[in-house]
Structure 1
Amino acid sequence: MKVLLVVYDNESHISQFPIGLAYLASAIRNAHGGNKHTVEVYEQNVYHWQDSHLTAFLDENEYDAVIVSVIGGYYQYKKLLNLSHAINTSKRRDKFKYLIGGHGPAAAPEYFLEKTGADVVGIGEGEITIVELLDAFENNTPLQDVKGIGFIDKESYIYIYSGRRELINNIDLIPFPAYDLFSINHYALLHLPNSSPTDRCLTMLSGRGCIFSCNFCYRLDKGFRPRSAQSIIDEIRFLKEKYAITYIGFYDELLMSSKKRTKELCQAFLDANLNIKWECNGRLNFADIPTLTLMKEAGCTFINYGIESLDNTTLKVMHKALTKKMIIEGIENTLKVGMSPGLNIIYGNINEPLSAIDDAVDFLLKYDDHSQRRTIRPVTPYPGSELFDIAVKSGKIKDVAEFYEKLHTNSDLLCVNFTNNSEEEIYDALYKANKKLLDAYNQSQARKVDELCYNLYVNKDKNFRGFRQT
């Protein structure tokens, strides 16, 4: 089988490395000893081609399968519909299978099949599923024998789910992403928090899954599976030697799954003398001084924290396993050891008081070091999440179609109001809050420019190289 992976354009000047598709590409290419299937990548995200370009590309090139994967955002939903139209209008459409996957389609497979005209949707971890599915296409064997997929039966027009695909327990056995198929020199230009202008940055995974169950999370696969320290080190060394990468962004859901694991991983980095900068997603209940000190010594410069709320009752509703006291202590510890914290806060979970917005603003103004531009967004009940099920049961959302076609139009606007306040009150509070936060961020940038001017013209800074955009 000849397979084309389509990386959609998210309209970023420099795109984040599409690590999920890269893992899929590696699984396809390595199947059956690496002597059977071939893979190519269509990087719309790098070259910003119009969707019509994909139609022409498919008209001119022969493939047996075309794959698109998206998460559950409003932009990604619309983009998937547009790409599906481009794919389905190719004059060669009857010659290839169209496959979709990712957290968005996986949470509502029948709906996405109907909207996109795809032949199959992947549900769950894809490395084993995709190989079995390609073999089924090639050998003309029943699709229902392939676990982890959904499709519309062509004879009965009935949706069929083949059953849950078991997770890969030892993820060290999964081959590294197929980096060589992607434009790594493009992705390496991505600016990550506290990276220097000359750093070459790339994202990778330290594990899969999460040990927590936030009510707004739409991750379908439960549990957490860490990679071994040696496997992570081997991949980092490969990226340094092959692509001169100097900064790693660990973009899995939770590198800090425990103090013990975090310390062991950091010590392994030090023992291996990796000399690499990195960032990760972390947990504030594990953010004590000894753990954070070791993380910084091992090269960590930034920890992204899912705070979500400063209201203790709301934190319980979310299943965050955090308290306001834990949050403040963890953030103060992070700043104390000299690392930047990513302060993610959302508003609007079930019965969350309006005062939580003011509390969040006070917190952010006190602790944000402005390594990122930070605002407060409304919570979104994505299909697949507990919050979505609650919204449907309470009559706030009719179904997936209403969510994607009418309610979820923008991540900075309310999709569903779970609070006891009116939308007008919420928008007024968010406007005032985010204006303060953005003003504070802009003032911090202005101070940096003032410092540059002072050092240049007063201290005669000979290392100054122009007022450059960063």
Structure 2
Amino acid sequence: MKVMLIVPPYPKDKIFRKSMKSLGAVLPPLGIAYIAAMLEKYSHEVKIIDGPAMATVLEYGFEELEKDIKEFSPDLTGISASTSQMGHAKKTLKIIKENNPNCITVLGGALISADTNALLHFNDADYGVYGEADLTFPEIIKKIENKEKIEGSEGLIWRENNIVNFLKPKVIMNLDDIPMPARHLLNMKIYRPSPANYRRLPATTMMTSRGCPYKCIFCSKPTIGTAFRAHSAKRVVDEIEHLVNEYGIKDIQMFDDTFTLLPERTKEICKGIIERKLDIGWNCMTRVDRIDKEITELMKKAGCYEMGFGIESGSERMLKFIKKGVTKQQIRNGVKLAKNSGIHVRGFFMMGFPTETKKEVLETIEFAKELDVDVAQFMVSTPFPGTELWEIAKMSGEINEDWSSFTFYAPDEVPFTSKLLSKNDILDLYKKAYKSFYLRPKFILRQFLYIRSFTDIERQWNAAKGILGL
């Protein structure tokens, strides 16, 4: 069967403030690349359209998408769309049905998993998929080819008498059973990380695990599955070696929520990189309470140059409110531990939570400066449907009805406002956070001292343009 997997065209300046566009990453869509690999395993012909990347780098739009749909003429199309892309998903579905009425259309993404009734609002979507769809797509396609009824399939969302029904998918417990992402179906040359997230080019991304056992109220993981599962250390190192040999990759961003959750696996990955003498630099995200001296020093030896920590707030009250599960002192200790091992620290901070005051946002900004992280990424609290934060936000303020504002990065609008913080308050604090952190003489001097190559100069220049343009 001919299958087209689409992420709708969506230029990055619709996600980031225009001045921050140069800081925005353009990354491979690993989710649909995994699905594509599973479909190829069963001999299906697959084409991927990575709309956001192609729109940003190649000025690809809906006219080009329509042309590709006509030329490929898929039997089934899967559309993956985040909450902020729902308008683009509707337009994509309409184009498919206008040009190929018999094509089966399947909508996936966080919103439809969080609210399956959303399928009723997408007239041109025949079905939806719930959560991870690696197993769902091959199963429903097999049934279609056998002329069997697909309603009732695990992982499928369907309509019946204008009522939405669904079954959750099977949980993939052994991730090593899934082929490596079908990167050969992507134009790997168009991707770029943000300036702070690489040291050498070409760079790319990997996911070595799925799921997260923690309970942060803002996280959308509960809508798509929280069970933590991980690739074996050998499989991870095999994929790194594949990226080095096949694509000449020099730098990898590990996209796991908590890369070091399993300490022994982390050590085995690092030892594998060292033993195979892979020339690779990499960064990852984890928690301040999931590292120790032995692990950080081994990670550094294996090429890890940066760790990202979800710090979120400088207010003890807000850390408890969002169920982060750590204290400010634990955060201080974790940041210090990473830095003492020679690993840079990227801190993620959020502002605009329900019940949060301006004073508490200012505490967060000051905490970022106290920690003196190497990179601070400030984001706007975004109450995605299906999260605990969504339920709290509905009772605590006003949720923006424009889904395109649900991006974290405060382009022009904000997704949520409360009686304590207005839209203008949040946007002003967002600008203040970036400028007060990055325009410190101490920080600027340190960036000059970090320069080791022309690539470093280029990275720093792109970052500076974004900050100064706020």
What's the TM-score once normalised by structure 1's chain length? 0.84
Q: Which amino acid aligns with 1:68?
A: I
In structure 2, which of residues 74, 89, 92 is the aligned counterpart of residue 83 of structure 1?
92
Q: Does 1:119 align with 2:126?
A: yes
Q: Which amino acid aligns with 1:437?
A: F
Q: Does 1:354 align with 2:358?
A: yes
Aligned position for 1:5: 5
Task: Give the CA deviation at 1:410.
Answer: 7.3
Q: Does 1:70 align with 2:74?
A: no
1:45-444 equivalences under 5 Å are: 45-46=53-54, 47-72=58-83, 74=84, 76-90=85-99, 92=100, 94-115=101-122, 117-153=124-160, 156-161=161-166, 163-187=167-191, 189-190=192-193, 193=196, 195-197=198-200, 199-219=201-221, 220=223, 221-368=225-372, 370=374, 372=375, 374-392=376-394, 394=395, 396=397, 403-404=401-402, 408=406, 411-412=409-410, 413-417=413-417, 420=420, 426-440=426-440, 444=443
Give the structure with higher Rg (CA): 1
Aligned position for 1:460: none
8 Å CA contact 1:397–1:403 kept in 2: the answer is no
Q: Residues 96-143 of structure 1: CA distance to partner in whole angstroms, max 9, x if unpaired?
A: 111121223322232145236211111011111001111222233222
8 Å CA contact 1:353–1:419 kept in 2: the answer is no
Task: Give the CA deviation at 1:353.
Answer: 3.7
SS class of match (1:232): helix
**Matches of 1:71 and 1:466 in 2, distance apart?**
32
Q: Which amino acid aligns with 1:439?
A: L
**Matches of 2:240 and 2:457 in 1, distance apart?**
34
8 Å CA contact 1:192–1:249 kept in 2: the answer is no
**Matches of 2:262 and 2:314 in 1, distance apart?**
22
Task: Give every structure 1 segment of 4 or more consecutive aligned residues whose post-TM-superposition deviation is greater than 6 Å.
Answer: 449-452, 463-467
**Matches of 1:466 and 1:323 in 2, distance apart?**
34
Q: Residues 428-466 of structure 1: CA distance to partner in whole angstroms, max 9, x if unpaired?
A: 54444343235349x9558857999xx9xxxxxxx9899
Aligned position for 1:458: none
**Matches of 2:335 and 2:257 in 1, distance apart?**
19
Q: CA 1:405–1:360 in 2, change beyond 3 Å: closer, same or farther?
A: closer
Q: Does 1:29 align with 2:40?
A: yes
Q: How many aligned positions are there? A: 441
**Matches of 1:324 and 1:70 in 2, distance apart?**
35
8 Å CA contact 1:193–1:302 kept in 2: the answer is no
**Matches of 2:365 and 2:440 in 1, distance apart?**
11
8 Å CA contact 1:19–1:177 kept in 2: the answer is yes
What's the TM-score once normalised by structure 2's chain length? 0.84
**Matches of 1:129 and 1:60 in 2, distance apart?**
26
My pick for the range that moved more, 42-51 or 246-255, is: 42-51
Q: CA 1:448–1:8 in 2, change beyond 3 Å: closer, same or farther?
A: same
**Matches of 1:143 and 1:81 in 2, distance apart?**
23
**Matches of 2:407 and 2:297 in 1, distance apart?**
42
Aligned position for 1:459: none
Q: Which amino acid aligns with 1:24?
A: I
Q: Residues 356-402 of structure 1: CA distance to partner in whole angstroms, max 9, x if unpaired?
A: 222222222244455x4x4533311101111112334x27468xxx7
My pick for the range that moved more, 274-283 or 228-237, is: 274-283
Task: Give the CA deviation at 1:295.
Answer: 1.1
**Matches of 1:201 and 1:172 in 2, distance apart?**
23
Q: CA 1:327–1:439 in 2, change beyond 3 Å: closer, same or farther?
A: same
**Matches of 2:414 and 2:249 in 1, distance apart?**
39
Q: Residues 236-274 of structure 1: CA distance to partner in whole angstroms, max 9, x if unpaired?
A: 111111111121111122212144443343233323333
Give identity over the alignment, percent: 25
SS class of match (2:26): coil
SS class of match (1:5): strand
8 Å CA contact 2:355–2:396 kept in 1: the answer is no
Q: Which amino acid aligns with 1:87?
A: I
8 Å CA contact 2:233–2:265 kept in 1: the answer is no
SS class of match (2:252): strand
Alpha-carbon RMSD? 3.1
8 Å CA contact 2:237–2:269 kept in 1: the answer is no
Task: Give the CA deviation at 1:145.
Answer: 2.7
Higher relative contact order (CA 8 A, sep 6+): 2
SS class of match (1:284): coil
Q: Which amino acid aligns with 2:163?
A: I
Q: CA 1:241–1:376 in 2, change beyond 3 Å: closer, same or farther?
A: closer
Point out where structure 2 has 5 or more consecutive residues left out of the alignment: 13-21, 463-470
